[in-house]
Structure 1
Amino acid sequence: MRGFLSTIWNTKGLARWILLGGAVVTVVFLVFALFAPWIAPFDFNQTRDASGAKFPKLQSPSSAHWLGTNDQFFDIFSRVVWGARTALEVVVISVLVAALIGLPLGLVSGFVGGWVDRVLVFVMDALYTIPSLLLAIIFAFLLRDALGGSIVAVALALAAIYVPQYYRVVRSTTVSARESTYIEAARAIGAKPTTIIRKYLFGNVVQSVPVIGTLNAADALGTLAALGFLGLGIQPTEASEWGYDLSRALDDAQAGVWWPALWPGLAIILLITALTLVGEGLNETLNPALRRRRLLPVRFPARAAPQDPPEIAETAK
């Protein structure tokens, strides 16, 4: 971790500011997600205040409801804050599951080769040719009977999209690294294949995973919003989801009621942009070929005054 932070600190130029700018916005949404019960004034599906009075329908922003209310009598600010927690849960689960499946499959396929490699390449290429949104819709339908419209079901549907991406990148890196000198030396001393993969290959191929994970997180957020917009994502009784709220607000926006659509859409745009900036900044910061390093000042030691030889000093006396 110290080396990672040192690399970022010693990087200069636009890449560093892109990374920091995206990280600041991402941290704001992380705070919303982690502290939603304390930040949001109401629950995500709450339609009545503490006295039991029902919230007004489609009320414009006011002191009681900072961002207004929507057509379902929900407080929009609370829905936006709780939606950050939903987005965080779905993104983290989908990216972690995809990495935990794609990373070992890519390592084994690239290192072992043979028929195992050919079968895995065929399966992953077949999945990769299907458009990501269509593949997410297919898995959402398949998982709906087993898990319903829950956060886990949508996260697993999104994870199926990104497994081929991790597999392709890790396999490509493994194929180029398995013929390296240090791998041949490990084979020569009798290291087992599992030892070579765990101790020598894993550390080299895992360096690109954080960049892929960050970019996949931005894409997962957009796909999650698309599923919610189509009514195939998380059910409104399960959690607050920005895509669903945006879909419900379309008719109101056509009637001139702008606030139910503005804030969920703005949250989606801001978080996707922030995650994309973090991914691009990490790519240019961690890639030695793209990174511009901070130049440190060079200081030379002061030169001592020349001393006269002893025989010249005696003559001068």
Structure 2
Amino acid sequence: MRSLLSRLWDTKGLARWILLVGLVITVAFIVLAVFAPWIAPYGFDQTKVDGVKFPKVGHASGDHLLGTNDQFFDIWSRVVWGARTALEVVVLSVVFSGVIGVPLGLVTGYVGGWWDRVVVFVMDAIYSFPSLLLAIIFSFLLRGPLGGGIVAAALSLTCVYIPQYFRVVRNTTVTAREATYVEAARALGAKPATIMRKYLFGNVVQSVPVITTLNAADALGTLAALGFLGLGIQPTEASEWGYDLSRALDDAQAGIWWPAVWPGLAIVVLITALTLVGEGLNESLNPALRRRRLRSVVFPRRTPATAKEAS
């Protein structure tokens, strides 16, 4: 971790600014998600206060900063609560994908043999499907036992991204297992589990942070697409930007723009921020792309005594 932070700190140029801008925007959305109960003035499914119903498709006002939509929901509250939903689903899907894909790629890449070929065949078959189509299929399969909640959406995305982690880690492991230090550890009698844990794992996971951020951006877009199609999180479970955007299409055609603009803008901004973080990490961690800051070199001043000794 210290080496990773050191490399990020020593990076200069455009990559540094891309990473900083992406991090600032991403942190802003994380703050919205974490403190949603205190930032949002209303609940994600609240339509009335003290028995008085909110206006339908109301303009922005003091009570409703961004107006209301056709379901009497406060748009600002839906956007804030939608940030929490997006954070929960993306984090769960990325964690599940990494927990399954990284160890599987490490073990199969090191062991090899027929088992490696079978797993590679299965992962390549899954990877060949379009991500959205695969997410729709798993969403249908998981909706019955798990319902239309956050866990079901996260698992449907997990099935999409496991092959990406597997392919990267497995290919790196196949190359690293023939390295000299691995051969030396094997010659000293180290067990395969010890070699994978102590010598291979730290080297093959260096590209995982970049994949994680890029997958998070893609997962957010896939989640919004599922919600837009009505196959994602149900409106009674949580606020979801894709669903709100789908509901606002008819209003947009009638000239009522605000129900569609704000959730759509939230999707675009957060995806852009996560993409910037991924690209910034890639250029900061990749030795072929990284530009380091030059450090000034200070030579000790030569005193008469040192000059006499040198002569």
TM-score between both structures, scaled by the size of structure 2: 0.97
For residues 215 and 65 of structure 1, the distance between their equivalents in structure 2, rounded to whole angstroms, comes to: 34
Q: Which amino acid aligns with 1:19?
A: L
Q: Which amino acid aligns with 1:273?
A: T
Query: What corresponds to 1:76 in structure 2?
Result: 75
For residues 98 and 307 of structure 1, the distance between their equivalents in structure 2, rounded to whole angstroms, comes to: 62
Query: What corresponds to 2:238 in structure 1?
Result: 239
* CA shift for structure 1 position 307: 9.4
User: After superposition, where does 1:183-202 map in structure 2 within 5 Å?
Assistant: 183-202=182-201
Larger Cα-atom Rg: 1
* CA shift for structure 1 position 80: 0.1
Query: What corresponds to 1:130 in structure 2?
Result: 129
For residues 270 and 44 of structure 1, the distance between their equivalents in structure 2, rounded to whole angstroms, comes to: 21
For residues 308 and 75 of structure 1, the distance between their equivalents in structure 2, rounded to whole angstroms, comes to: 78
User: After superposition, where does 1:164-179 map in structure 2 within 5 Å?
Assistant: 164-179=163-178
For residues 109 and 308 of structure 1, the distance between their equivalents in structure 2, rounded to whole angstroms, comes to: 62
Q: In the alignment, does 2:32 pair up with 1:36?
A: no
Query: What corresponds to 1:313 in structure 2?
Result: none
Summarize deviations over 1:71-118 as a string: whole Å, max 9, x none.
Answer: 000000000000000000000000000011111110111101110111
How much identity, in percent, do the aligned residues show? 76
* CA shift for structure 1 position 290: 1.3
For residues 106 and 168 of structure 1, the distance between their equivalents in structure 2, rounded to whole angstroms, comes to: 7
- Aligned-partner SS, 1:300: coil
* CA shift for structure 1 position 224: 0.1
* CA shift for structure 1 position 306: 7.5
**Structure 2 CA distance for partners of 1:64 and 1:181, relative to 1, 3 Å:** same
Query: What corresponds to 2:3 in structure 1?
Result: 3
User: After superposition, where does 1:92-241 map in structure 2 within 5 Å?
Assistant: 92-241=91-240
Q: Which amino acid aligns with 1:115?
A: W
Q: Which amino acid aligns with 1:191?
A: A
* CA shift for structure 1 position 276: 0.2
For residues 188 and 8 of structure 1, the distance between their equivalents in structure 2, rounded to whole angstroms, comes to: 36
Query: What corresponds to 1:274 in structure 2?
Result: 273
Summarize deviations over 1:55-76 as a string: whole Å, max 9, x none.
Answer: 0000011111000000000000
- Could you list the structure 1 runs, at least 4 aligned residues long, displaced by more than 6 angstroms after superposition: 306-309
- Aligned-partner SS, 1:207: coil
Q: Which amino acid aligns with 2:266?
A: A
For residues 123 and 229 of structure 1, the distance between their equivalents in structure 2, rounded to whole angstroms, comes to: 30
Q: Which amino acid aligns with 1:45?
A: D
For residues 244 and 79 of structure 2, the distance between their equivalents in structure 1, rounded to whole angstroms, comes to: 9
List alignment gaps of at least 5 residues for structure 1.
310-317
List alignment gaps of at least 5 residues for structure 2.
none
* CA shift for structure 1 position 122: 0.5
For residues 190 and 4 of structure 2, the distance between their equivalents in structure 1, rounded to whole angstroms, comes to: 30
* CA shift for structure 1 position 260: 0.1
Q: After superposing the two structures, state which structure 1 stretch, 213-222 or 7-16, moved more.
A: 7-16
For residues 34 and 3 of structure 1, the distance between their equivalents in structure 2, rounded to whole angstroms, comes to: 29
